[in-house]
Structure 1
Amino acid sequence: MAVGSPGLQRSPSSLGGVAMAFLRSHWRIAIVIVVLLGVPATWVLAHDAGQVDHALVATVQRGDFKVLVTTSGELRARKFVQITAPQGAMQAQIYQMKIASLVPEGTVVKEGDVVATLDRATVAPKLAEVTLAVQKAQAQYQQAMLDSTLTLSKAREDIRSQELGLEQKKIIKEQSIYEAPSVQRQVEIDYQQADRALAQAKVNYKTLTLQSQAKMSEVGADLGRQKNQLDMVQAVMAGFTIKAPAPGMVIYVKDWNGKKRTVGTQINAFDPGVATLPDLSQMESVTYVNEIDVRKVQTGQRVAITLDADPTKKLTGTVAGVANVGEQRPNSDAKVFEVHVNVDQADTTLRPGMTTGNAINTYEAKDATYVPIEAVSSDSGVPIVYKRSGASTVKQQVQTGAMNDDDVIIARGLTAGDQVLLSPPPDRDGLSLVRLPASTRLVAPPNGDTAIPGAPAPATPRRPSRAVPARPRG
């Protein structure tokens, strides 16, 4: 039994009866509501089913088409005067030098003004070493000279003694005429021995003289070499105060790692540059192009140059040189190639070291038909687009040409004003491919990238083979 007020409680059968009574009395209103809600909903669904989002549709354009390689670079002077460490450092065996002071970059100097000084403390050990070597060579020279003097003096004294002895033997020989023949013979032998000894002593003296001269030449040459080394070291140290060889603006030189040489930087005798005095009337933009795009860049191509310091300034230039060998730049994983761009304009506001933006025009086509890259895809190796044809979509084969970062040239298959989808439609698998008309000649792509790989290549006709007649056997 239900608990509650009898006035507020109804049985299920009574509730159903009330609902049926309401519907019978208001059926016209219900029908109108259903019609008002259902017809617009049906129309919206049908409209959306046949409509394509305009954000995913692009119109085929016709006009000038450019392929640009954009890079950042740095301004440099094409001509400059090098300010270097003293010449002759390598000959003086001074291979490392340290910059002790350097005028601020951008300082305008006159010829003869002091630009930099090098630290003499780094070369002081070398100076002490060479000075000691000179002193040692001088001592050796003095010793060799004394030895030669003593040796030759003793040899001369021996010759004098032997001359006296020979004279004594001669007197004895003269007195032996009254002696027995045997005694005379012995005296004659003694005389001959003394004479031969004197002759040998004179020959030995000449040999000792030549030996002394050779020894003196040797130690003298070593002394001269050490003195020359000392002179070179002193001359290099005298040039540690570096002066400007010409008037101009001082610009720091960069090391191999891209860092500028400043106070405290070590420089070596193989690369002694400290700073430069650039000719600001002839500037160039030095940039680096990655190994993928460098094949598009050639000398003579035009370049649009911008400056980060002044975005409103527009300059032009020409590619003057492209490196043949790539290099690994700091903080870069890819190989890059150095490209030099000559700036056409002479502007007094241009300064070496300014960052530039370089847009190299590697290819240009007049009155070309092109679409966004996203509109072109591939179907079994055939480049296609999904073209709008009225309310339907057509899978259209196209022939592509050059491409840039955003668009690709359509050589055949589309005309200006056509509309193409930027992404494949949901029913792409059910669409049949509309192929290009057969052509005996395909348009050769320009020198550069083509849009979509996999386009069918023309078959190369084979020449019919000719039968070679057999030679008759003789």
Structure 2
Amino acid sequence: MKSKILYVLIGLIVVLAAAWFVLRPGSKADADMLVPVKKGEFEILVSASGELEAKNSVRITGPSSLQAIQIWQVKISDLVAEGTAVKKGDYIALLDKTEIGNKLRERETELQKEESRFVQTQLDTTLTLRAARDELTNLAFTVKEKEIVLEQSKYEPPATIRQAEIDMQKAKRSYEQAKENYRIKKNQAAAKMQEVAVLVDQNKSRVQQITDIMKEFTINAPESGMVIYQREWNGRKKTVGSTIQPWDPTVATLPDLSVMLSKTYVNEVDIRKIKKDQIVRIGLDAFPEKKLSGKVISVANVGEQMPNSDSKVFEVNIQVNESDTTLRPAMTTSNNIVANKLKDVLFAPLECLHSQGDSLTYVFKKSGASIVKQQVKIGQTNDNEAVIIEGVKEGDDLYLSVPKNAESKQLVLLPASPAAPAITSRE
């Protein structure tokens, strides 16, 4: 009988010890699920990934006067590898010369035609003027002849003298008309020669213009630096096979790596939080151990549509404070923009928050050995935590997930909150 009682007492002690181990404050089972409500400075962060680029860079461009010869786009047929270190004057790229070569041949053919026309016009005017000069000389001789006839007719009858006078006047008149005609023909010849000469000069200038532009199809580095490919409007980099246009002749850039920017895009929901000069914490995907700092230097006023997405985003440029030789354009950055800081506020992880409908938010709070389902009023949030305005106090332990059988508990409302139906267990 005594041994039976002893076994019962031992069993009871074991049960009580197990219950105390599970339910005691600070037990590991609770410690893994509970977090305290903290009080202090709360940062409102906006996180966005970005891409490094140089704040200042020298553009490597193709011909800027393609439009003048009616070429609207040119393909890149060769381009040095991105990241190549070059010196001033080094070869960078070669543009496709097919179209400009055709235009050069067309213009050279046109020039040959105009030069032939110039020679022909020159010959025609020479012959025309020679004939006019011969006629003028002959008419001058005719006037002399008529003068001699008139001189010899002074002993003739008056009618004969009168006829000689009329003949001499006609000869002089013809001579004067021939002189005027020669002057007009000479001016006409000069005008024709000037006209064809202008066309020849124009075609020569166009041939020279095309020749000069063709030389620019071989692109060399304007300065020393590292070659970084230029991005097109759709975000893709220009490479072999890409095209350049007269209004955007940039092939690549030579960035100044001493001052870097992180270009990022913030969604339209968060953009109202972003302002110029806000502090930014910057991380590098390529070097996770590096922690950089920066500040917002510009925020776009107009949003843009992301490809394959319905969301609108706004471009935000962040200047990196540090100068680091490991920083390279196109490196991916993680940017945490400090949009605001709140002093002496209560906050807890977002995982502690649960919702009922659209307006009620509550937490599961540990109270001694029991659990309280407490409504709370939420303030601003960041990616990980939320400010709690009412419902808890500093040091309260909150559950990170729904405790077992806690859903059946009655919701404790805030004093000013309207009545809400209790959430009951589905069990």
TM range (shorter): 0.7 to 0.9
1:132-190 Cα shifts (integer Å, max 9, x gaps): 12212211221222222222222222222222233333333444445555554454444
- Structure 1 residue 347 and structure 2 residue 347: aligned? no
Q: 1:413 to 1:284 in 2, by over 3 A?
A: same
- Structure 1 residue 403 and structure 2 residue 381: aligned? yes
| Partner AA of 2:288 in structure 1 | P
Structure 1 residue 297: Cα displacement: 1.6
1:213-260 Cα shifts (integer Å, max 9, x gaps): 222222222211211222222223333332223222222222222222
2:105 pairs, out of 120, 128, 144, with 128
Structure 1 residue 109: Cα displacement: 2.0
| Partner AA of 2:295 in structure 1 | T
Q: 1:396 to 1:115 in 2, by over 3 A?
A: closer
Compute the TM-score of the two structures, normalised by the length of structure 2.
0.76
Q: How does 1:150-299 map to 2 (within 5 A)?
A: 150-179=127-156, 181=158, 183-299=160-276
- Residue aligned with 1:98, SS: strand
- Structure 1 residue 103 and structure 2 residue 80: aligned? yes
| Partner AA of 2:53 in structure 1 | R
Q: Partner residue of 2:22?
A: none
Compute the TM-score of the two structures, normalised by the length of structure 1.
0.69
1:281-325 Cα shifts (integer Å, max 9, x gaps): 211111122233222222111111111111121111111112233
Cα distance in 1 for partners of 2:221, 2:287 equals 31
Deviates most, 94-103 or 180-189: 180-189
Q: How does 1:429-440 map to 2 (within 5 A)?
A: 434-435=415-416
Cα distance in 1 for partners of 2:315, 2:246 equals 26
Which structure 2 segments of 5+ residues have no match? Answer: 1-29, 418-427
**Aligned Cα root-mean-square deviation (Å):** 3.6
Cα distance in 2 for partners of 1:244, 1:100 equals 17
1:306 pairs, out of 283, 286, 292, with 283
1:24-57 Cα shifts (integer Å, max 9, x gaps): xxxxxxxxxxxxxxxxxxxxxxxxxxxxxx8999
Cα distance in 2 for partners of 1:265, 1:103 equals 14
Structure 1 residue 272: Cα displacement: 2.1
Q: Would you say the 8 A contact 1:375–1:420 is kept in 2?
A: no
- Structure 1 residue 370 and structure 2 residue 350: aligned? no
Deviates most, 251-260 or 345-354: 251-260
1:322 pairs, out of 276, 279, 299, with 299
Cα distance in 1 for partners of 2:191, 2:104 equals 30
- Residue aligned with 1:337, SS: strand
Which structure 1 segments of 5+ residues have no match? Answer: 1-53, 437-474
1:339-372 Cα shifts (integer Å, max 9, x gaps): 2111111111111111111111112212222356
- Residue aligned with 1:234, SS: helix
Q: 1:179 to 1:353 in 2, by over 3 A?
A: same
Q: Partner residue of 1:117?
A: 94
Cα distance in 2 for partners of 1:389, 1:99 equals 68
Equivalences, count: 382
Cα distance in 1 for partners of 2:162, 2:395 equals 140
| Partner AA of 2:323 in structure 1 | A
Q: 1:218 to 1:186 in 2, by over 3 A?
A: same
Q: 1:329 to 1:185 in 2, by over 3 A?
A: farther
Q: Would you say the 8 A contact 1:397–1:434 is kept in 2?
A: no
| Partner AA of 1:303 in structure 2 | V
Q: Would you say the 8 A contact 1:77–1:278 is kept in 2?
A: yes
Q: Would you say the 8 A contact 1:302–1:319 is kept in 2?
A: yes
Instruction: Point out the structure with max Rg over C-alpha.
Output: 1
Q: 1:394 to 1:286 in 2, by over 3 A?
A: closer
Query: Percent identity between the aligned chains?
Result: 43
1:102-152 Cα shifts (integer Å, max 9, x gaps): 222222222232222233344321221121122122112212222222222
Q: 1:433 to 1:247 in 2, by over 3 A?
A: closer
Q: Partner residue of 1:48?
A: none
Q: 1:82 to 1:139 in 2, by over 3 A?
A: same
2:53 pairs, out of 76, 84, 100, with 76
| Partner AA of 1:137 in structure 2 | E
Q: Would you say the 8 A contact 2:375–2:412 is kept in 1?
A: no
Q: 1:376 to 1:368 in 2, by over 3 A?
A: farther
Deviates most, 69-78 or 193-202: 193-202
Q: 1:65 to 1:89 in 2, by over 3 A?
A: same
Cα distance in 1 for partners of 2:394, 2:188 equals 101
- Residue aligned with 1:150, SS: helix
Q: 1:181 to 1:426 in 2, by over 3 A?
A: farther
